[in-house]
Chains A and B, each alone.
Chain A
Amino acid sequence: MTDTSAAARPKRPKSSSPLLAIWAQFRSHKGAVFGLCVLGFMLVAVVIGPWLWVPEKLSVAQAIKLKNQGPSLRFPLGTDQLGRDMLARMLLAGRISLAVGMVAMTIAIVFGTLIGVLAGYFRRLDGPLMRLADMFLALPLIPLLLVMVMLFRDKIAGLIGPELGAFALIVFAIGVTSWMATARIVRGEVLTLKEREYVLAARSIGVRPNRIILRHILPNVVSPVMVAATLGVAEAIITESVLSFLGLGFPPDFPTWGRLLYDGLQYMQVYPERVIWPGLAISLTVLSVNYIGDGLRDALDPRIRGR
């Protein structure tokens, strides 16, 4: 036993594998670990929860009697104004909201980073791409989304089904209207990075521009992108709820956290818990994603990782 442990112990305290080192640094960030646990718990809950917690089938008469119930053993989070079980709706809503938040954020980040890097690195593309970003920023977001949804909802619904169609449309709509901030941040960062001596050194070696971008520029813009990404998740969840509220997102019988929040808004003074549950879920998601982003940013930076 003692032999094997002595042999297994590495010579240097720092682990040799970079992935292990990143994980070790990530673990030392308490907030990030907490965020990972919370987000992990919520993901597991919304993915397998709807199978585990099947609400009882109620007749219309029963449902009317049981509407607006407070938390009880039968309905852990109470029921809504139509007598539907809030826990079941919360779990189902979480699936949509988390998926919309993550996917829309990913689209926005990928798109924004791409535009930002191209604009920052290639001087010729800078003007056109940044004017494009300005144009998108100048567009009023809600009317644009309304038009997009009006025009394309039925076509896409016919193609891949109403729910998936609504999901694809909303995710795309949010994605293409929220990349501008990231693009601007990334462009600014790239403009300073490309004048650094190590980029000059890479050019003197004869490294091609695509490799310079991938190796020297992208890893060094990770921190601002991370911050933009974590904020983007929250924004996407909220934008989705705005769209649903306006009747342009998912169908009304299709719960999302944003929709539950707006449904509960009318009854807020009488039944505050109906706002608190979805609000809490959104806040916890945003907070945990923020902390994870923070921890990840530290973990990916070798200068911080070393100490």
Chain B
Amino acid sequence: MPTAENPLVRVQGLKMHFPIYAGLLRRRAGEVKAVDGVSFDIMQGETLGLVGESGCGKSTVGRTLLRLYDPTAGSVVIDGEDIATLSPEALRKKRPTMQMVFQDPQASLNPRMTLATIIAEPLDEHTDWNAEKKLARVHELMDQVGLNRAFASRYPHEFSGGQRQRIGIARALALNPKFIVCDEPIAALDVSIQAQVVNLLEDLQDRLGLTYLFISHDLSMVRHIADRVAVMYLGQIAELSPRDALYSRPLHPYAQALLSAVPEPDPARESSRKRIILQGDVPSPANPPQGCNFCTRCPRVFDRCRIDEPQLAEVEPGRFVACHLYSDNQTGGQTAGTEANEPTNKENVQ
């Protein structure tokens, strides 16, 4: 059983570089450092939110975690086994423990398969049940995600976006996984449907004791569902903090800028909201800047940032930041935050 020292998922120094081939002879001209040294732990039953702007490597982290890509370096230990180095057959046996919910529910369902065959596919692969038992399990799963049993023989195009995402979730649940990577599961849905799907995910977590990596660029949705949040910038984690601490007082300058962009529903507070507007563009991940990745746009940049690469370090209990402002001597005038919650202490926000 995973404990505090023994998390369900432990990622260390994960790197995923995609080679670039160029020129007449298709020589290797460089690499896109989509994920460049990411480390984090996820406890059993916890939801880790992973946020960041488009192209910062969030989805690549999710996919590399399940070894849909072969990582360039680093280890991904899920439930005691290092996914990154498993043999293909051992990996296949391991697949039932970890599943994925995809971003685009339209694209992630084969248009030529009926709902029942889609949901039963994991069962076909990993069990030797007979047709009746599989169908019973499919019906059970459909009940769990709130789909009418009569829909079993319909095709994906006959469903709405929210229903399709439920199909995707049912498929991910079919083998009783412990860990699910939710790769922007709500990004392609209407706002009215987003809440339904997120509540369903939370509901399932409570009932089945699931552990999520919730990838999203929707900061308010992550605030709703996540226990801890990792903010990514250009293939690296800038800050990894408990949710409430991060949202009330972000430490990393990038996290501050990102969170200042979240609109405030209260007009009085909205008028006093100060937006930090970053200058310039994200550097190319094929050619990241020397030193800190954020040094080209950071409002609080100083000389050292352009030379040394900051490491992710615990600056307050439970809060990890990769920034020189907080590194050796905490001279930033920050005091240890009292609002830093226990990671697994999750409020019920329904």
Contact = CB atoms under 8 A, between A and B. Distances in A.
Nearest to B109: A198
Contact of A306 (B63, B68, B109, B155): B155
Contact of B158 (A207, A215, A301, A306): A306
A251 interface: no
A123 B317 CA distance: 48
Interface string B45-81: 0000000000000000001001010000000000000
A184 B114 CA distance: 29
B139 to A, nearest CB: 16
B155 A204 contact: no
Interface string A187-224: 00000000011101111111110010001100110000
Contacts of B109: 198, 201
Nearest to A202: B121
Interface residues of A, number: 24
B107 A220 contact: no
For chain B, give the interface size range: 20 to 34
Contacts, number: 72
Contact of A303 (B95, B126, B157): B157
Contacts of B95: 204-206
Nearest to A206: B95
A201 B108 contact: yes
Contacts of B107: 196-198
A59 interface: no
Contacts of B114: 18
B112 A220 contact: yes
Contact of A201 (B96, B112, B157, B171): B171
A269 interface: no
Contacts of B160: none
Contacts of B128: none
Given A201-B108, A215-B110, A220-B112, A206 B155 contact: no
Nearest to B111: A303
Interface string B226-255: 000000000000000000000000000000
A64 B293 CA distance: 96
B102 interface: yes
16 contacts: A18-B153, A198-B109, A200-B102, A201-B102, A201-B109, A202-B121, A205-B99, A205-B121, A205-B122, A206-B91, A215-B113, A219-B112, A220-B112, A301-B112, A303-B155, A306-B157
Given A204-B66, A206-B92, 11 more contacts: A18-B153, A197-B102, A203-B68, A204-B95, A204-B99, A204-B100, A207-B125, A219-B110, A302-B111, A303-B157, A306-B158
Interface of B: 63, 66, 68, 91-93, 95-96, 99-100, 102-104, 107-114, 121-122, 125-126, 153, 155, 157-158, 168, 171
